Amino acid sequence: MLKSLVEEIYKIIMKRKVLILGGGGFIGSAIARILSKREKYDITIADNFHHNQDDEIFTHFILENSIKLFKADFTEKSSYDLLDKHYDDFYMLASMIGVNNTLENPHEIIRVNTALISNSLEWVKNNSVKNLLFTSTSECYSGTIDKFGYKVPTNEEIPLCIDPIDHPRFTYAVTKMLGESGFLNYSRVFGFNCKIIRYNNIIGPKMGFGHVIPHLVERFIDGESPFKIYGGDQTRAFCGIDDGALGTIQAMECEDAKHEIFHIGNDVEITIEDLVKETGRYFHYKGNYEIAPTYPGSVSRRCPDLTKARKILGFNPKIDWKEALKETLDWYVNYYKENPNKRFFEGPNKFYK
Ligand SMILES: NC(=O)c1ccc[n+]([C@@H]2O[C@H](COP(=O)([O-])OP(=O)(O)OC[C@H]3O[C@@H](n4cnc5c(N)ncnc54)[C@H](O)[C@@H]3O)[C@@H](O)[C@H]2O)c1
């Protein structure tokens, strides 16, 4: 009896204490799912559930895995009072995202993301965190690729640049640059370990509705014909959610990496035309396609160079883009079956200058 009690206490003490701010979201909840299977973590999720992920499945997952949950708006400083004073790992994922959001509410992107970053920086400064990971984006160097012809696939050495500065789309990238600089510099001054992840197009079930894939599903279901391919010759690389979440955990837990930036994604570069036509095959689409211009501010090529992540983290994405796409399409097709009147695609034309 005493022995098992001691064992229980030992297990609790030895657990790695993890905070996932933004853990109700697409990537944060995937990180929590992976960690919860490993049993050596004491997990806390904090989120305002902006994306409404706190459904029955999520609630069940939280209860089943004894995850602590704080539902609050962390643009408010007082929300941080809910948290404990010490965490081993702080995943800082909370952010306002989405191209349409940037175009329609750029002021909110600036307000929400800068408040989340600045509140988190000050909270970390005044509390005890061993490792912090901040999630940034490949959008931070979209200007460098198109303006200065930098190499694609792109490594972490690339200078960050957006252009033009007043374009609403880039409010998001500007706040991520603030986060990168903020966390790297606070970490050196206040003595915690810090990693920056720049994600490249992570896809999977429940990834939100402001994305090309759910938009394609809506349009194929609605029978668009000819089917427009916006920016068909642009390239991207799509990474399955399990790979993206695992790479994030590998970066957080890598003892050899201190104050480092990693590009996490998949390095198989495909065209948007490839993506649309693969989706068309899924829907057995027999009509014609038509190439159309893309969203303004959309970079022509994007693909991460994973050499550094492979070498230092042992990161090796395993899910093929077609497999990741199929899993994503399955989920959205089912969603639209259950919610036949929901539509989110508004077309890029609305936003042309
Ligand atoms: N998904 C991608 O391909 C991708 C690409 C580049 C960068 N990122 C970054 O990765 C992180 C996670 O992205 P995601 O795709 O899971 O997005 P997501 O929107 O699903 O997750 C972000 C979470 O932050 C929460 N949040 C927003 N404002 C908050 C607030 N005021 N208080 C508390 N919580 C708040 C949201 O409710 C949401 O659950 C984000 O920082 C995003 O910028 C993602």
Ranked by mean pLDDT, the top range of 10-14, 24-28, 343-347 is: 24-28
Q: Is residue 253 part of a domain?
A: yes
Burial 229-253 (b: 16+ CB within 10 A, else e): bbbbebbbbbbbbbbbbbbbbbbbe
73 Cα nearest atom in ligand 1: 32
**Chain segment 19-59, per-residue pLDDT in tens:** 999 999 999 999 999 999 998 999 999 999 976 666 888 99
Q: Is residue 209 part of a domain?
A: no
Q: Please list the residues that pair with 228 across neighbouring strands.
A: 290
23 Cα nearest atom in ligand 1: 39
Q: Is residue 214 part of a domain?
A: no
**Chain segment 68-116, per-residue pLDDT in tens:** 999 999 999 999 999 999 999 999 999 999 888 998 999 999 999 999 9
Distance 47 CA to ligand 1 centre (A): 9
| Residue 12 confidence (pLDDT) | 62
| Residue 270 confidence (pLDDT) | 98
- Give, using CA atoms, the residue closest to atom 5 of ligand 1: 199
The token duo for 4 is 């098992």
CA distance 90 to 85: 12
Number of domains into which the chain is organized? 1
**Chain segment 257-268, per-residue pLDDT in tens:** 999 999 999 999
Distance 101 CA to ligand 1 centre (A): 12
29 Cα nearest atom in ligand 1: 16
Chain-wide mean pLDDT for the chain? 93
Q: Is residue 297 part of a domain?
A: no
Distance 346 CA to ligand 1 centre (A): 22
Q: Is residue 166 part of a domain?
A: yes
Question: Any residues with CB less than 8 A from the CB of 344 and at least 6 apart, and which?
Answer: 209, 210, 214, 215, 218
Q: Which domain holds residue 262?
A: 7-202+240-266+303-318
Kindly list the protein residues whose Cβ atom lies closer than 6 A to any atom of ligand 1. Answer: 22, 24-28, 47-51, 53, 73-75, 93-97, 112, 116, 135, 137, 199, 201-202, 208
Nearest in space to 233 (alpha carbons), one of 261, 186, 171, 275: 275
Residue with the larger pLDDT of the pair 6 and 154: 154
**Chain segment 298-337, per-residue pLDDT in tens:** 788 999 999 999 999 999 999 999 999 999 999 999 999 9
Residue 141's CATH number: 3.40.50.720
Distance 258 CA to ligand 1 centre (A): 24
| Residue 221 reports pLDDT greater than 70 | yes
CA distance 267 to 200: 9
| Residue 351 reports pLDDT greater than 60 | no
Distance 97 CA to ligand 1 centre (A): 6
Q: Is residue 41 part of a domain?
A: yes
Percentage with pLDDT > 90 across the chain: 84
Q: Is residue 281 part of a domain?
A: no
Q: Is residue 217 part of a domain?
A: no
